Amino acid sequence: MLTGGRWHDTPCHSANKKHRHGSAKQGDTSTSVTFRLYTLQPLIRARRAGVIEPHMRIIYGVSGEGSGHSSRAKEMATHLVGRGHEVHIVSYDRGYSVLHELFPATQISGLHIVSKDNKVAVMSTLLHNLRYLSAGLRSISRVRALFSDFKPDCVITDFEPVTAWIAGSRGIPLISLDNQHRMRYMHCEAPKHLRRDQRITEAIIRMMVPAPDVALATTFFQGPVKNDRTFLFPPILRWEVQSLHPTDNGYHLVYLTSGYDTLIETLRQFPDERFVVYGYNKAQVDDNLQFRAFSTMGFLKDLAAARSVIATAGFTLMSEAIYLQKPYLAFPMHGQFEQQLNGLCLEQLGYGINAAKADTRTLSTFFNRLPDFAEALQHYSAGYSNDPDAARNTAICAKLDELLADNATLLREYHSRRTTS
């Protein structure tokens, strides 16, 4: 049994819930995002020309694995630039492809997890990363040169190790801003069969990121923290989510990051249910399955209109589904403790099922219990019906502003306390 629970109401968010979206409609999302980012361009150009003196120079390391890190970093970096700070992104793969068009960025090589049929392929993962070892060493040299030229006042890392370790070696204040550090600094008693994986995961996090001066950890499940420099916040939601209005169009949204053929075959056994499937990068209708090629806005609209979500247990999708109050059938990737933890928290809160097998019994149980899950989700204080402004990420943005105010006085105090204790 996990210790902790739901988020409680806080005064950090706007109290005016009636006019949260103004006149925006669901279809206006891409336009609003484009407008929001373009409004920052004059500020960026003026700073580069020396017209505006930036408050802080920040290197922001972002893991490129999956889409959650980059979507979170996009929101936080946009906020920081809007506050007058100069931000330089360091990332790879999906993180770099998403962020380099919006912010100054350096591309590096990074680590990957290889999976097959919803299981971590350990040997394939090892061999894949060994092939890029020399590229990784070149990346370290490139980032060291960036530090020397850019001269950052502080570093933020979203589970990106190169920037974090260079910050530590040079005595630069370091903030971790991710969901991984809840597994390092939030008390969580995992079931006995997962405790070995939990210990291994905590060790990997320590190897990936040296002890940060401040840890800003996102989580939809609250638990006690292990130190006074760790702060928990509701999950960071993408700006696009703000304009979504949840409805129920009767279908189930299925999202599979690397193919899960066993689940697909099970879904075919429920001809009376409709499934919209993402992850196979094709557009076709196959009986009760409608496959769709990936589109960010198309996916989010389908998420908002779904009756439920059936997917792996990635943190970002689960957080967005819970915010939109969609029951969730989670299939955690075998061998990845973080997804196992996400599924455990989901089930303990009563928002869905943490499934071990993609069989007909599991699916039948989930469909029968949908009303129970929907009722539990109505009590999620950071959910759409209770706090639609949670998508503005107000609380964590305010904490960042506090840490960086007055030449990062508070952050430097944390840095001094950690390095002298």
CATH number at residue 128: 3.40.50.2000
* Residue 38 is assigned to a structural domain of this protein: no
Q: Nearest-CA neighbor of 160 among 210, 201, 123?
A: 210
- The bridge status of strand 154-158 relative to strand 119-120 is unpaired
Domain count, the chain: 2
Return all residues near 223 (Cβ < 8 A) that are at least 6 apart.
2, 3, 4, 182, 186, 187, 188, 232
Give dist(CA 258, CA 276) in Å, integer. Answer: 16
DSSP characters for 81-93? HHTT-EEEEEE-H
Q: Are residues 67 and 152 in the same domain?
A: yes
Is the same domain home to 218 and 271? no
Residues 416 and 384 in one domain: no
Q: Is 253 contained in some domain?
A: yes
Beta strands 119-120; 115-116: pairing state: antiparallel
> What is the Cα–Cα distance from 288 to 6, expressed in whole angstroms?
35
Residue 17 token pair: 């819930």
Residue with tokens 């912010």: 103
pLDDT tens for the chain, residues 1 to 421: 565 666 554 333 333 333 333 333 333 444 444 545 544 655 565 556 654 555 899 999 999 887 889 999 999 999 999 999 999 999 998 899 999 999 999 999 766 555 565 555 555 656 555 665 567 677 899 999 999 999 999 999 999 999 999 999 999 999 999 999 999 999 988 889 889 888 988 998 999 899 999 999 999 998 999 999 999 999 999 888 878 999 999 999 999 876 688 899 999 999 999 999 998 888 999 999 999 998 889 999 999 999 999 999 999 999 999 999 999 999 998 878 899 999 999 999 999 999 999 999 999 999 999 999 999 999 998 888 888 778 789 999 999 999 999 999 999 999 999 988 7
The residue type at 41:
Q
Q: Which residues pair with 310 in a beta bridge?
A: 254, 329
228 and 250, same structural domain? no
Question: Residue 28 domain-assigned?
Answer: no
Looking at residue 386, its pLDDT comes to 87
Residue of 284, 276, 269 whose CA lies nearest to 250: 276
CA distance 191 to 209: 25
Residues 288, 375, single domain; the answer is yes
Regarding whether 320 and 198 lie in a shared domain, the answer is no
Same structural domain, 184 and 228: yes
Pairing status of strand 274-278 against strand 352-354: unpaired
Q: Give residue 124's pLDDT.
A: 60
Residues 264, 268, 274, 277, Cα dihedral to 10°: 20
Rg (CA), the chain: 21
Domain span including residue 58: 54-236+393-420
What does pTM read for this prediction? 0.82
Q: Are residues 295 and 284 in the same domain?
A: yes
Q: Are residues 232 and 216 in the same domain?
A: yes
Q: Does the residue 90 lie in any domain? A: yes
Q: Is residue 40 part of a domain?
A: no
Statement to judge: residues 354 and 262 lie in one domain: yes
173 shares its domain with 254: no
Residue 10 lies in a domain: no
pLDDT of 27 reads 37
Q: 229 and 91, same structural domain? A: yes
- Identify whether 379 is part of a domain: yes
